Structure 1
Amino acid sequence: MNTKTAPILVTGATGYIASWVIKQLLEKGHTVHTTVRDLNKKKSFAHLEKIAAQSSGSLQLFQANLLEANSFDTAMQGCEIVIHMASPFLVTNYKDAVKDIIEPAIIGTENVLNSVNRTDSVRRVVVTSSIASTYGDAIDIQHTAHNQFDESHWNTTSSETHQPYPYSKVMAERKAWEMQKAQNRWSLVCVNPALVLGPSLTAMTKSGSVEVLEQFANGMTLAGVPPMWNGIVDVRDVADAHLEAAFNPNAEGRYIISGGTLSLLEMGQILRRHFGPKFPFPRNQLPKAAFKLFGPLAGFSKSFVELNMGYPIYFNADKSKKELGIHYRNIEASLVEHFQQLLDDGVVKKYIP
């Protein structure tokens, strides 16, 4: 593969992780083709143009829509590597799970990979999946060997009506593998990150982790948090993993990318230690029984409470360490850095005594 001169396509330019991937590629001198939904929304990709101007690589922006067939053909011309990162991100606030989350994820993957099938130059495809594609509910940990999820696990418990966001992730990844197996020109590597924390390259980022931290800061969790745990990883480690997945000839299959596990209460305690008692960070973990009673008022269904609270979850990231050479950053430091950035960007209001 003539990877230094052939352009590399990254879909979903304005995403939290995608911005870091593009930054690394540009700084390594690559030509990056990247897609946005609307070329008129210059503000959303101004940070990328600035990075490009200061690096030895070059950036070309293309307009493309996940739900339009052939939409990615032009951007993909001449590319040997395609990193497909564009995906709908709506865990809450959706009207119709199938239309808003599931179809865009699956059809989007299908449209991008149909373009790959039409583009003879492509040799390697990297798809951003999620650890949500390895398990559906926290209770699934009880059926694992060694009390941890690894790359052999698949989410079999989510559906259109129960946990539609994880369902969209696992169905999109399964679609990618199905399409890869139907041909033999291009190889596929899937990157499955845990909850991503760490600095964003733009204040406009939307991500699940921002939502969690905003709730910590606005007092919503002051009375206490549910007994829930998250695998956590620094955004820069996730970007490193994508580059390794793209360029390392030995990379194959799926890779769980996780720097460790923290409970919501531990996250609150870490932030309190660092930022002091001024913010309404959670101080207590409320018992599962309380959420069974009041959960529906806070938007937690009874089945969600039953299946997801009270089960610490752990992820085995050894494959990524061995095969991709990832050395994970300290997740407590990533959490602190992320919250500090939300303060600096004004996303979270500074405490005024």
Structure 2
Amino acid sequence: MSQGNTSAPILVTGATGYIASWVIQKLLEQGYTVHATVRNLDKKQSFAHLEKIADKTSGTLKLFKANLLENGSFDEAMQGCKVVLHMASPFVVTNFKDAVKDIIEPAILGTENVLHSVNKTESVKRVVVTSSIASTYGDAIDILKTENNQFDESNWNTTSSSTHQPYPYSKVMAERKAWEMAEAQDRWSLVCVNPALVLGPSLTVNTQSGSVEVLEQFANGMTLLGVPPMWNGIVDVRDVADAHILAAFNENASGRYIISGGSLNLLEMGKILRQHFGQKFPFPRNQVPKKAFKLIGPLFGYSKKFIEKNMGYPIYFNADKSKKELGISYRPIATSLVEHFQQLLDDGVVKKYI
């Protein structure tokens, strides 16, 4: 892995996050000083795992309070940093009241506020923003528009909106804001990391991620009668963390990087888990045909528009750029899936069904 100047601190926003915690651990193990931002310094339980990691490594951890929605909030934490890893982002896919206020505006404004601080901080030379493959497409049906039946870095999500797929819309709009601000200056360079659905062990039991919700549904019986024909790009959390660090210190890294270890549909995920864990859980055994799911989907909160555009379309992602330019070698996604479920079981997040 490329090494930078370990004497200069590195800023990581959203330090308690699932991916960010792994990034911080890897940086501390390499001897870096990490300036880590959290929303509340009084909630020590949320970052206790980071302090334990720091105690066992050669690096130095310095915690700062910062709020995505407050202009200038990141100024202090950024002082002296050459590299900024902007990983903080609101994660609200469901159960929101107002998509614009709860998801879209915070994502865009948060990116804007962090980059305003970058513009004021002369020491910063490289910014890495955690985006998402949701920035490359809005609905699975968009795969039909691609040249090689796979999404790559040239693809942009043009089909999401504040009323249809607001979370993917927030990701693409935040990334577009980052590129707009990067192109308006020439002191610092921007690299965006676009991971698929992230699986793999967490460094804390407090993790919030979309993958946890999927695995909980596999364990609680919700999917016992069957799952819809839906595919996910999947990647191990440790590979995503490596991608951020490589993007930070590789001078030749540029543009966007899709980070994906492969694709699985929900039924395939269920089969992998059953092969490993046996009959202890109600893992899905059947795939519900799209026509049938149109009848029952609304009962589970799926709109007919979502079902029509996202079910029955296998989606694939081209991660060749990340392999060639960053040198990433991806872990097997089946192993990441099993390890993640095992951890949720060990932590008591999911319980044996039988």
Is TM (by shorter chain) over 0.5?
yes
Quote the Cα distance in structure 1 between the aligned partners of 2:243 and 2:162. 30
Matches within 5 A, 1:293-312: 293-312=295-314
Deviations, residues 160-192 of structure 1 (Å, cap 9, x unaligned)? 000000000000000000000000000000000
Residue identity matched to 1:137: D
Cα offset, 1:2, TM superposition: 6.9
Quote the Cα distance in structure 2 between the aligned partners of 1:234 and 1:2. 24
Give 1:232's aligned residue: 234
Quote the Cα distance in structure 1 between the aligned partners of 2:170 and 2:179. 14
Matches within 5 A, 1:76-91: 76-91=78-93
Residue identity matched to 1:171: M
Deviations, residues 59-87 of structure 1 (Å, cap 9, x unaligned)? 00000000000000000000000000000
Deviations, residues 26-77 of structure 1 (Å, cap 9, x unaligned)? 0000000010000000000000000000000000000000000000000000
Equivalent position to 2:139, from 122, 137, 140: 137
Quote the Cα distance in structure 1 between the aligned partners of 2:303 and 2:221. 22
Moved over 2 A (4+): none
Residue identity matched to 1:102: I
Q: TM-score, normalised by structure 2?
A: 0.99
Give 1:66's aligned residue: 68
Q: Given that residues 3 and 80 in structure 1 are in contact (C-alpha distance below 8 angstroms), is that contact kept between their aligned partners in structure 2?
A: no
> Equivalent pairs: percent with the same residue?
81
Give 1:283's aligned residue: 285
Matches within 5 A, 1:202-281: 202-281=204-283
Residue ranges of structure 2 left out of the alignment (5+ in a row): none
Quote the Cα distance in structure 2 between the aligned partners of 1:294 and 1:268. 20
Quote the Cα distance in structure 2 between the aligned partners of 1:110 and 1:10. 16
| Greater displacement, 2-11 / 184-193 | 2-11
Q: Secondary structure at the match of 1:185?
A: coil
Q: Given that residues 280 and 352 in structure 2 are in contact (C-alpha distance below 8 angstroms), is that contact kept between their aligned partners in structure 1?
A: no
Quote the Cα distance in structure 1 between the aligned partners of 2:291 and 2:94. 23
Give 1:329's aligned residue: 331
Equivalent position to 1:94, from 62, 86, 96: 96
Quote the Cα distance in structure 1 between the aligned partners of 2:9 and 2:326. 22
Give 2:119's aligned residue: 117
Cα offset, 1:292, TM superposition: 1.2
Give 1:14's aligned residue: 16
Q: TM-score, normalised by structure 1?
A: 0.99
Quote the Cα distance in structure 2 between the aligned partners of 1:350 and 1:229. 26
Give 1:200's aligned residue: 202
Residue ranges of structure 1 left out of the alignment (5+ in a row): none
Cα offset, 1:107, TM superposition: 0.1
Q: Secondary structure at the match of 1:205?
A: coil
Cα offset, 1:3, TM superposition: 2.4
> Structure 2 vs 1, CA of residues 303 and 2 (structure 1 numbering), >3 Å: closer, same or farther?
closer
Give 1:45's aligned residue: 47
Quote the Cα distance in structure 1 between the aligned partners of 2:136 and 2:114. 22
Q: Given that residues 4 and 249 in structure 2 are in contact (C-alpha distance below 8 angstroms), is that contact kept between their aligned partners in structure 1?
A: no
Deviations, residues 147-169 of structure 1 (Å, cap 9, x unaligned)? 00000000000000000000000
Q: Secondary structure at the match of 2:53?
A: helix
Give 2:170's aligned residue: 168
Quote the Cα distance in structure 2 between the aligned partners of 1:293 and 1:315. 30
Quote the Cα distance in structure 2 between the aligned partners of 1:54 and 1:95. 42
Quote the Cα distance in structure 1 between the aligned partners of 2:118 and 2:136. 25
Equivalent pairs, count = 352
Quote the Cα distance in structure 2 between the aligned partners of 1:45 and 1:290. 45
Give 2:319's aligned residue: 317
Residue identity matched to 1:97: A
**1:292 counterpart = 2:294:** yes
Cα offset, 1:345, TM superposition: 0.4
Q: Secondary structure at the match of 2:148?
A: helix
Residue identity matched to 1:289: K
Give 1:5's aligned residue: 7
Residue identity matched to 1:291: F
Deviations, residues 252-274 of structure 1 (Å, cap 9, x unaligned)? 00000000000000000000000
